[in-house]
Amino acid sequence: MRLWFALFWLISSGTLLAVRAQTADPQARAVSGYDFGLHGLQAVRLRYPDLTGAGLTISVKEASFDTTDIDFRGRIVPTSTLSSRFSDHSTIMATLLGGAGNTASTSRGVAPGVRLAASSFERLLPDTLPDLRRLGVSVQNHSYGVDMERFYGPEALAYDRQVMQEPTLLHVFSSGNSGDERPANTPLPGPYLTLTGEFKQAKNVLVVGGISSRGVLEPRSSRGPANDGRIRPELVAYGNNGTSESAALVSGVGALLQQTYRYQTGQLPSVAWVRACLLASCQDIGLPGPDHDAGFGSLNALGAVTLAQNRYYQTGVSTINTTQSFTLTVPPGAARLAVALAWNDTPSADGILRQDLDLWVEKADKSGELLRPWVLSAAIHPDSVRLPARRGIDRVNNVEQVSLMQPAPGVYRVWVGASRLPDGSQSFAVAYATDSIMTWFSPTTGAALLAGQQQPLRWLWLGNTDERGTVSVQMVGETAWQPVATNVRLADQMVWWLPPDRTQLARLRIVTGTRTFLSDTFAIVRPVPVRVLLNCPDRVVVSWARQPNVSTYQVYRLGRQYLEPTRQVTDTVAMVSPVDGPFVAVWPVLAGRPVQAGFTINYQRQGVGCYVTNWLARQLVADTARLDLTLGTVWNLRSLALERATADTYTTLQTQTPTPGQTSYTFADRPPTAGATRYRVRLTTQTGEIILTEDELVYGVATNTPFVFPNPVDNGQPLTVVMPEQETTATWITSDGRQGKPRPVSGVLKQIPTDGLLPGWHLLQVDTRHGWQRMPVLVR
CATH number, domain containing residue 676: 2.60.40.10
| Residue 704 pLDDT | 61
pLDDT at 249: 98
Per-residue pLDDT, 703:
58
Whether residue 504 sits in one domain with residue 410: no
Would residue 712 count as lying in a domain?
yes
Distances (CA, A) of 304 to 298, 463, 765: 11, 20, 82
Distance (Å, whole) CA 208 – CA 270: 19
- How far, in Å, CA of 597 to CA of 400, rounded? 43
3-class SS at 763? strand
- Whether 134 and 250 map to the same domain: the answer is yes
As for how many domains the chain has, the answer is 5
User: Residue 109 domain-assigned?
Assistant: yes
In this structure, are 320 and 373 located in the same domain?
Answer: yes
Q: What is the mean pLDDT of the chain?
A: 90
| Rounded average pLDDT over 63-76 | 94
d(CA 204, CA 505): 46
The predicted structure's pLDDT at residue 7 = 29
**Domain-located, residue 474:** yes
Question: Is residue 2 included in any domain, yes or no?
Answer: no
Q: Residue 331's CB: how many other CB atoms inside 10 A? A: 10
**Per-residue model confidence (pLDDT) at position 33:** 59
Q: What is the pTM of this model?
A: 0.85
Q: How confident is the model at residue 375 (pLDDT cuts 50, 70, 90)?
A: very high
The share of the chain scoring above pLDDT 90, in percent, equals 73
| Tens-digit pLDDT profile for residues 702-755 | 656 677 888 888 988 988 888 777 788 888 888 778 888 888 888 777 888 888
For residue range 26-62, list pLDDT tens digits in order: 223 446 557 899 999 999 999 999 999 999 999 999 9
- Give the Cα separation of 588 and 546 in Å (integer): 9
Residues 682 and 734 in one domain: no
pLDDT at 479 over 90: yes
Best-predicted range by mean pLDDT among 335-344, 521-530, 769-778?
Answer: 335-344
Same domain, 481 and 567: no
* Inside any domain, residue 383: yes
| pLDDT higher than 60, residue 15 | no
Residues 6+ apart with CB under 8 A from 293: 191, 209, 217, 221, 223, 286
- Residue 2, pLDDT above cutoff 70: no
381 and 400: one domain?
yes
Output phi, psi for 453, to 5 deg.
-125, 125
Q: What is the mean pLDDT of residues 14-35?
A: 39
One domain for residues 282 and 249: yes
**414 and 339: one domain?**
yes
Count the residues in the chain: 780
- Residue 1 domain-assigned (yes or no): no
| Residue 351 falls inside a structural domain | yes
Among 524, 549, 571, the domain-final residue is 524
Q: What are the backbone angles phi and psi of residue 270, rounded to the nearest 5°? A: -70, 160
Q: Which helix (H) or strand (E) holds 49?
A: none
The CATH number of residue 723's host domain is: 2.60.40
Q: What is the CATH number of the domain that holds 313?
A: 3.40.50.200
Which of 435, 458, 479 is the endpoint of a domain?
435
Question: What is the pLDDT, as a whole number, of residue 72?
Answer: 97
> Quick one: 509 and 565 in the same domain?
no
Residue 470 sits at φ, ψ, to 5 deg, of: -115, 135
| Residue 494 and residue 536 in one domain | no
Residue 499 has pLDDT above 90, yes or no: yes
Question: For residue range 628-639, what is the model confidence (pLDDT) as tens digits?
Answer: 999 999 989 999
Q: Which domain holds residue 91?
A: 7-32+39-435
DSSP 8-state code for residue 351:
-
Residues 731 and 741 in one domain: yes
For the stretch 187-231, pLDDT in tens is 887 799 999 999 999 999 999 999 999 999 999 999 999 999 999
pLDDT at 472: 97
Query: Could you tell me if 684 and 731 lie in one domain?
Result: no
Domain boundary among 435, 451, 482: 435
Compute the chain's Rg from CA coordinates: 34
